[in-house]
Structure 1
């Protein structure tokens, strides 16, 4: 790994450049979000942008995945990953470009849709970085891959793209480096780099509790799956502390509980969806085993007519960036932004399927690329006016007040965030190993 590429000492990353196309792409994506697995229009917009920059583009990879490849002589392969999907959240920002979109979810329910996690920003920054690097091919050599990944929110898109031949079909071999940045409510023009796990090991479960339906007036003649589900939910609220104690950060959260159609009918079934998150893969195994025990025991104690059906919806390992690669990108960001704008980011219980793009130990055998290294960091999205108007005297107080990712009030400022995000991603690609001419 080079200390600091000569390409980064030039001016093309710090000179003013037009980010208007990237901002326009962001506004389109924000107005027109799509749920996981349904990112057809989003993928098409990214594909058009990459095609216009001279990339060889393939669509429909692992679902609606997009792969753009720009070959520029011999040298390493560096991949930039951005996510395409949005969330079932009703936007409450009152922005002129706020989403009013609705869509059918996987269960056939009509739900509101919003880019509440910043994936629209990620796509816009990746497209902008692709433009910058394509226009300045005199500064680097190698192969640049830009990947639009579907279904990140369901933790299924990375595996689907890998199983569809991402690393075999589109490049000279597995990438030498895979990079991703994630939006965060920090001041625009800042980056924050993880200390320890960038994101947690996690799993998502769907549980069907089988009861025996009946009349609400005669509950003794039925087996109420709602009560069983409620008991399971209450037990799951304490299982992380009971299994791991306070020394190991972990969370078991129930995000969905559905049962019944009428207040005077005891239903036959109750449906639960939950996530399990912790910072190590062994701890995830322990929590999964405990959750399965609780679900089975509560159902048996209630006398349910059949065991509960438990489906593993997704699973992802902990996200540990390569330390040497991360150090090179931190140096590049300090050179680009100034030391005071490059911070550290503590471990988080948010989950990502990004680590599946890494070496086979993290990717659970999905591909064979022991040389592939990953890097992952946060970039700021809050403009100066928004930061000034946010209540709080200190940075910590303001950060506690700002709407976080997944909030219906999450409100990045694309004006300063996108140009800065383009530069941080492009500089990271150069620092990650694209060869100097």
Structure 2
């Protein structure tokens, strides 16, 4: 599918004088990176985006579905396009050594202090969104329609997109004709990557509670040890993928957290596990969940637990499968603006997102990956793998050493968003 010939031309014209805005967006990024906030606590970050959009004369509404921010720029009749980026950071201790590295501490849901860092790239997504919005706001003569700029809270907990929709995002601001987003990925900075079909996995996260009977470790016969039962669940669950997914079909069952006990001489009353399931097909996700349920109940029965176990879904997300027609148009626009050598194909990944919720009621969505690895880091990573020195040394998303190459990543991210928006926004009115 070829791009509308006017899209790349209009985008190039808007981007021709983008250096001052890119510099301003870079300053915003440095500030956001140094001041990360956990999911549900993004008040300062939301304020930074709201102030930026208000400066460009967008109508700004805050506290949509939590700390969500919506900026509205109506620019005559035409389609409505929503650009989305995330506000939140992760409970990770940053180890990049950067002069602007985070030293922030937040409070986790259990009330404990934890280090916080933008180890997933949301700060860069937000800076690129802000830069693209400023450029489009300053070039109203080159497009027609309505631009919706959304800063979404709580993506890392897979809660924020649904919260904004439940708070009437589409009812209050209009149903968009397209929703667009991008995400940093471990490919060279300056590149973008589009997928076909399922790009990212659907996920389901369970909190599993195993009830035992506590007591003294010297009298184990008088107790029911929930830790032993939890260990059985952990070991047995590692066989789920091998027996529920077809050979070669990607899927994940991972126990990410185990919480039980307080001292070595006490058998606790309960053990808690956080278990994440991921797959590229909803029906396979259901099979994995059913297998986990069987294993948990069987292990508890074998251990003689006094109460049935609890399995509670605490987070979930659909498979990310962008609209084919919209994706083809956006990819064609990127290829025309950036060149085909800078646009590649993204293979299906078991990473997950809550972005697919924006496709509710048939709204078309497009989603692409944004390269974030600088030349030196890329070369070092390739050398490490090719010389047999172990796996590539490129720190990926969620690593405490995740450090996007700012200049190439940010400028490309701004250009990619501007171009993608113009594939749906109408052309500007001809000059008098």
State the TM-score, normalized to the length of structure 2. Answer: 0.94
Mapped pair 1:267 → 2:256: no
* Structure-2 residue corresponding to 1:41: 44
Hey, what's the Cα distance between the residues in 1 that align with 2:168 and 2:248?
40
Cα-to-partner distance string for 1:48-89 (whole Å, 9 max, x where unaligned): 111111111111110111111100000000001101111111
What is the Cα deviation at residue 395 of structure 1?
9.7
Mapped pair 1:161 → 2:164: yes
- The unaligned stretches of length 5 or more in structure 2 are none
Hey, what's the Cα distance between the residues in 2 that align with 1:334 and 1:262?
60
What is the Cα deviation at residue 24 of structure 1?
0.9
What is the Cα deviation at residue 3 of structure 1?
3.5
Matches within 5 A, 1:139-150: 139-150=142-153
* Structure-2 residue corresponding to 1:109: 112
Matches within 5 A, 1:247-262: 247-262=248-263
Backbone CA RMSD of aligned residues: 1.9
* Structure-1 residue corresponding to 2:3: 3
Mapped pair 1:413 → 2:405: yes
Hey, what's the Cα distance between the residues in 2 that align with 1:122 and 1:3?
24
What is the Cα deviation at residue 436 of structure 1?
4.2
Hey, what's the Cα distance between the residues in 2 that align with 1:213 and 1:142?
64
* Structure-2 residue corresponding to 1:202: 203
Partner of 2:187, secondary structure, is: strand
What is the Cα deviation at residue 6 of structure 1?
1.4
* Structure-2 residue corresponding to 1:99: 102
Cα-to-partner distance string for 1:303-357 (whole Å, 9 max, x where unaligned): 1111112111122111111111111111111111111110000000111111110
Hey, what's the Cα distance between the residues in 1 that align with 2:259 and 2:39?
21
Distance 1:384 1:247, change over 3 A: closer
User: Contact 1:73–1:141 at 8 Å: present in 2 too?
Assistant: yes
* Structure-2 residue corresponding to 1:71: 74
Partner of 2:106, secondary structure, is: strand
User: Contact 2:2–2:332 at 8 Å: present in 1 too?
Assistant: no
Matches within 5 A, 1:16-415: 16-17=17-18, 18=20, 19-170=22-173, 173-360=174-361, 370=362, 372-392=363-383, 400-415=392-407
Distance 1:147 1:395, change over 3 A: farther
Size of the aligned set, in residue pairs, is 425
What is the Cα deviation at residue 90 of structure 1?
0.9
- The unaligned stretches of length 5 or more in structure 1 are 361-369
State the TM-score, normalized to the length of structure 1. Answer: 0.93
Hey, what's the Cα distance between the residues in 1 that align with 2:399 and 2:239?
25
Hey, what's the Cα distance between the residues in 2 that align with 1:223 and 1:393?
49
User: Contact 1:2–1:433 at 8 Å: present in 2 too?
Assistant: no
